[in-house]
Chain A
């Protein structure tokens, strides 16, 4: 509704939005607030944002976060490393392979192109549970249960959603560039690598960013495919931390949650425009 609004409507909208923004941020703020309090205050009836006495805030925070980081059972430093390995390998593979396949579906005229694309789209509807159990068996036969491979190797074969995104993007690049390159004697690979890829940086960034978030947050995959504790990822480690037979106090639990969320928030603040732009484009086309 881009029509002109009167001053009062504008103010009203502003007020409403402020309330909504507060409501949306409140859980995260409360999470942070609980994570810097000592256990007794976290569970108290007071609703303070900061612990009392306020001067001790940094000390309490340090205690909590150190306790989580150094926990003997749930080794978050190791999980961070595992998550970074899986994310790194996965993102590189996914971006590259999706770009390759998207290229094949947009820049080369061949029969069957439409059919394959339709197939790619169709697979976006397959719910994970139907793959869950047999994938487990497949990985077992391959001997990959007990390694990190089930989490990143499939990414090297492209993902339907990212292929769709990149294909749409590639279609906006003028064909004349390809033709000029071919006339110059470039193979399609050269065209791909030297012309299309550089032009697609924004789209590739979106794919990489979103896949990184997906891997960072993935829980069900690690739950099923990872057996040894020293292979766990952050998301799984967080669940382990919560489900320990002895109960974990809330302030430590929130500290652990904050630790897992913080890098993504940081990433978001740094790359805000790419995020919003990426989400917007995917929906429109």
Chain B
């Protein structure tokens, strides 16, 4: 055996655990899922081929359209909002502020909380009559809405909750901000740029790789949102329609309605959408993101 072949096999050996695992627990299920998406599969009986039936059904299914709308709306609002808030917080923490470590910890801590616990705490906070949020608003003379029941306030309550978990992104941005070379700011000031211009023309471009990374990760996560609405919006008299999201409906089809084929089709649509969004972001990044030569 020539050394190069031996070396290749050697390398393969080292990465084999992942290849085997990914094969068994990722690629195989994906292939299975693709197959199921063209069948009717109630789990207890074997899959039955039905061609493009599931995909065609999606277009006529009002619940499908509704969960798509809800998920898309959530992503459209939460992702930019979270990013802006995270960058703003990071900027605040980056200055010479006393106890910045402590503030950082406060903001980061909520990200450790299991989503289930977060959901329950926020259910309690947003409770229409007894929740802290409405009580505080009451002290200020405002009658708070039924956050979790009123159709119009479901999305805002979810978005507010999502902002609570912004800590991880904040830490990433702080590190990114600290990496920005000082000379650029100096140069900017000499050129007469005020702090806001500096921010727009120096800071943002310099941390754009970090922004890209976080936005991509956030998108992949937000599209899949499941645990929180599952806990917060299911009721004995039906799930709140404004709180009905894509992955929840997928789960219902797979494990409650016995429509695993349809669920698989939904899953593949979700996968393709995620891939397309990521591709679009990567392409856009070529123009917007500045990579420094390290």
Contact = CB atoms under 8 A, between A and B. Distances in A.
Interface of A: 1-5, 9-10, 13-14, 16-18, 20-21, 24-28, 30-31, 34, 43, 45, 47, 97, 100-101, 103-105, 108-113, 116, 119-120, 123-135, 137-138, 154, 156-158, 160, 163, 188, 213, 216-217, 219-220, 224, 234-235, 238-239, 242, 250, 253-254, 257, 260-261, 264-265, 268, 272, 275-276, 279-284
B172 A24 contact: no
B25 A97 contact: no
Interface stretch (B9-17, B57-65, B74-82): B9-17
A132 B254 CA distance: 9
Interface string B11-50: 1111101111110111011101100100000000000000
Contact of A154 (B21, B33, B97, B198): B21
A138 B28 contact: yes
B270 A129 contact: yes
A95 B10 CA distance: 21
The 9 closest A-B pairs by CB, nearest first: A157-B21, A104-B14, A110-B11, A283-B172, A280-B175, A217-B114, A134-B29, A130-B267, A134-B32
A3 B254 contact: no
Given A1-B91, A113-B11, A284-B210, A265 B109 contact: yes
B264 A133 contact: yes
Given A2-B185, A276-B171, A254 B121 contact: yes
B226 interface: yes
A31 B164 CA distance: 14
B123 to A, nearest CB: 8
Given A130-B33, A156-B17, A284-B172, A104 B24 contact: no
Contact of A220 (B198, B214, B226, B278): B226
A235 B180 CA distance: 40
B283 to A, nearest CB: 15
Contacts of A284: 172, 175-176, 179, 209-210
Contacts, number: 290
19 contacts: A1-B91, A2-B185, A3-B185, A3-B195, A18-B103, A27-B121, A108-B7, A110-B10, A127-B270, A133-B254, A224-B255, A234-B114, A238-B114, A250-B124, A253-B124, A257-B120, A275-B108, A279-B172, A280-B171
A132 B5 CA distance: 38
B182 to A, nearest CB: 7
Given A130-B270, A280-B172, A125 B278 contact: yes
A13 B98 CA distance: 10
Contacts of B192: none
Contacts of B8: 110-112
